[in-house]
Amino acid sequence: MLIIVLFLTSFVALSFWFLFKESSEMRSVFGKLFLLFLSLYLGASFLMAVDIFSWVTIILNFAFLFFGGFFLNTFSKSKIIFIPLLFLITIGYYFVVTEIRWPLVFYNQEETISNQLINIPDKLDPDNELLLELSKGHDLIELRSIINKYNLLLEPAFRVHSKNITDLDDYFVVNIPEKQLVNYHEILEAFKNSGFVDHIEANEILSLDPTELVTSSNIETRGKYSVNDPDIDKVWGFDIMHVQDLYDLLSNHNVQPKKKARIAIIDTGVDAMHEDIKDNFVSIGIVHDDDIHGHGTHCAGIAAAVSNNAKGIASFAPDLKYIEIFSVKVFGKYGNTTQRKIIEGMLLAVDNNADVLSMSLGGVATAKSQRAYKQAVNYANKKGAIVVVAAGNENVDARKRVPACVDGVITVAAINENLEKAIFSNDVSNLKMGIAAPGVEIYSTIPDNNYQYFNGTSMATPYVAGLIGLMKSIQPNLDTDSVYNMLKNTGDITLSANKTGNLINPVGAIKDLLNK
C-alpha cells in the first residue's frame, strides 16, 4: 500500500506541475514534490523487487507516469476538465491495481509479505495439507463446526489390518480449500483447542534424494567367489564384508531357513521383470512393479539380487530359498511423496507380511513429524517387522532426518572402500541404533536389465536390510533390538566408527545367530 501511495502522489505532483506551468512558484513546488515522491517510490520498489516481473512493473509504471502526465497536459488550460480527469485516472489506476489485482510490484510484494506473516509451510500436499489424530472416544461429528466454517474435507488417512495394536486408524487427512489457506494457522488453533484432537501436523511434500550416478569405478573385488554371477567383481563391498566366508558358512553348516523372509523395498517401485531380480520377487499389486526412476530397482538388487544365476550381481542370500522381496511404490512420477504416503507404504508392507522394511528415503525432521512415523514403526515391530532406514546424504547429524531419527528404526550410514565415512553420509552417532554399510560406487540393478553405479546412504541401507532378511529367514522371531545388538557386536570397526557405527559383518552376524 505504501508503494501505491508514493507512486500516485508522484503522478499527481507531476500532473499539477503541468497544470501550473505558467506559475514559476507553483511549478517549482510541485516539481520538487514530484522528484521527492518519485525517488521514494523508486527506492522502495528497488528494495522490494524480487523477480523479472517486478522490474517489468517498474518500467510499466514509468510509462503510465509520463504518458498519463502528458495526456493530462493537453487539458491543462481548463481546470474544469483537468481536475475531474486527474481524479478519474488516479482512482481508476488504484482500482485496477487493488481490486482486479493487476500483477504489479507492490501487489506481488504485499502478497509475499502476507505469506511470510502467516508462516505456512512451504511444501504442503495441495490435496491433503494436514494430518490430524482424533482423540479416542470422539467422532468427526464433534468437529463439524470447524469443518463447516472453513469448508474442510476430511477422510481417513491410513488403513490398517490390525486396528487393535495401533492408533493410526484415528488419523485423518485434512483438505483445506485454496481460499482458506490464509486461515491455515487459525484452522490449526481451532482443532487444537477443540478438545477432540490429540495431534495435528503439516503433511509436507518430500522429494526423492538426489542419488549421484557414477559412470565407472576403479574399485574392484580382490577375492574369489563361489557364485557364478559375472559382475560380482564390481561389487567391491563384498570383500570388506567377507561375503565368501558367509557363503562358506551357510554351505558347510548346511544352514536351512525356517521361512522365506520377505523384504519390502519402500521406494520408487521395482522393475519386477529385471533378469537379476524376478526370481526373488513377489508382487503385491501391479502398480508397484515398475520403476521410472531406477532408485528402487537399484536398492532391490543390493538387497536381493539372485545369486549364482550367471547374471549380473549377487546378494548375501546364496540361493532362492532364504529371502524374497516385494515393492511398495511411495514416490510418484515426478519423484515426490508425502509423509502420509510413506506411512501408508509402511503399513501396506507390514500388512503384506514383510519381515524387513528397507526405506532409502526421508525428509527434514521436526518434533511433530516423528509422531505418526513412531506409531508406524511400533505397528511394524508389533507385527514382527524390522525397519531399516537411510541416514541421509547431507553430511549432518542424522537426528535432523525422519524417519532416520525415529525410535525403533535401524539407521544406516555409508562408508567408502577405505572404511571411512562417505563424505556425504549423515552422522548416526547420536542415534540409538546406527550401523554402517558400503555406500560409494555401489554397482546394482536398474530397469530394463541394466546395471549402474550409484552413491548414497540409499545404497547402504538395502545391504543391511538384505542381511537382516537372511537372519530372519533362519530365526524368524528376531526383534529389532536383538538384531541390532548382533550387528553392532559382530561388526567391524571403521575409521569413522564414532560417526558411522560399526560396519556390518554378515558372517559374524550369522555365526552369532547360530550360536544362540
Three cell numbers written together for 486:
548382533
Give the pLDDT mean for 407-436.
Answer: 97
Q: Rounded to 5 degrees, what angle do the CA atoms 177, 330, 393 make?
A: 105
Task: Indicate whether 290 and 355 sit together in one domain.
Answer: yes
Determine what percent of the chain is predicted with pLDDT higher than 70: 90
Closest CA to 261 of 308, 311, 326: 326
Position with higher pLDDT, 363 vs 121: 363
Reply yes or no on whether the pLDDT at 137 is more than 60.
Answer: yes
Reply yes or no on whether the pLDDT at 496 is more than 80.
Answer: yes
| Residue where a domain stops, chosen among 117, 150, 185 | 117
Reply yes or no on whether the pLDDT at 354 is more than 70.
Answer: yes
In a domain, 122, yes or no: no
- Cα–Cα distances in Å, from 107 out to 10, 68, 466? 18, 21, 55
Q: How far apart are CA 393 and CA 174, in angstroms?
A: 31
Predicted confidence band of residue 291 (pLDDT cuts 50, 70, 90): very high
Task: Indicate whether 142 and 84 sit together in one domain.
Answer: no
Task: Indicate whether 166 and 56 sit together in one domain.
Answer: no
Predicted confidence band of residue 8 (pLDDT cuts 50, 70, 90): confident
Do 238 and 467 contact (CB within 8 A), yes or no? no
Q: How far apart are CA 395 and CA 44, in angstroms?
A: 40
Mean pLDDT in the chain? Answer: 88
| Residue where a domain stops, chosen among 117, 146, 165 | 117
Q: Tell me the torsion sign for CA atoms 330, 332, 336, 338.
A: negative
In a domain, 123, yes or no: no
State the catalytic residue, choosing from 295, 307, 397, 473. 295
In a domain, 413, yes or no: yes
Task: Indicate whether 354 and 371 sit together in one domain.
Answer: yes
In a domain, 280, yes or no: yes
Q: Which domain holds residue 24?
A: 2-117
Reply yes or no on whether the pLDDT at 209 is more than 80.
Answer: no
Task: Indicate whether 344 and 457 sit together in one domain.
Answer: yes
Give the pLDDT mean for 446-450.
Answer: 97
In a domain, 196, yes or no: yes
Three cell numbers written together for 124:
504442503
Number of domains, the chain: 3
Reply yes or no on whether the pLDDT at 100 is more than 60.
Answer: no
Task: Indicate whether 180 and 274 sit together in one domain.
Answer: no
Position with higher pLDDT, 28 vs 381: 381
Position with higher pLDDT, 220 vs 340: 340
In a domain, 125, yes or no: no
In a domain, 339, yes or no: yes
Lookup result for grid cell 505469506: 115
Reply yes or no on whether the pLDDT at 115 is more than 60.
Answer: no
Task: Indicate whether 377 and 510 sit together in one domain.
Answer: yes
Task: Indicate whether 444 and 465 sit together in one domain.
Answer: yes
State the catalytic residue, choosing from 15, 54, 458, 496. 458
What is the domain-level CATH number for residue 145?
Answer: 3.30.70
* Cβ-based neighbours of 466, under 8 Å, separated by 6 or more: 263, 302, 303, 304, 315, 316, 317, 323, 358
Q: How confident is the model over 460-488, as pLDDT tens digits?
A: 999 999 999 999 999 999 999 999 999 99
Lookup result for grid cell 555406500: 439
pTM assigned to the model: 0.78
Strand 336-338 versus strand 205-207 pairing type: antiparallel
| Residue where a domain stops, chosen among 180, 203, 226 | 203
Among 120-129, 153-162, 191-200, 284-293, the least confident range: 120-129
Task: Indicate whether 186 and 221 sit together in one domain.
Answer: no
> Is 267 noted as a catalytic residue in this protein?
yes
Helix, strand, or coil here: 384? Answer: coil
Task: Indicate whether 179 and 233 sit together in one domain.
Answer: no
> Is 295 noted as a catalytic residue in this protein?
yes
In a domain, 124, yes or no: no
Give the pLDDT mean for 234-258.
Answer: 97
Closest CA to 172 of 199, 150, 194: 199
Q: How far apart are CA 66 and CA 115, in angstroms?
A: 33
pLDDT of 96 reads 63
State the catalytic residue, choosing from 167, 267, 289, 355. 267
Task: Indicate whether 219 and 329 sit together in one domain.
Answer: yes
> Is 458 noted as a catalytic residue in this protein?
yes
Reply yes or no on whether the pLDDT at 289 is more than 80.
Answer: yes
Task: Indicate whether 177 and 100 sit together in one domain.
Answer: no
Reply yes or no on whether the pLDDT at 317 is more than 60.
Answer: yes
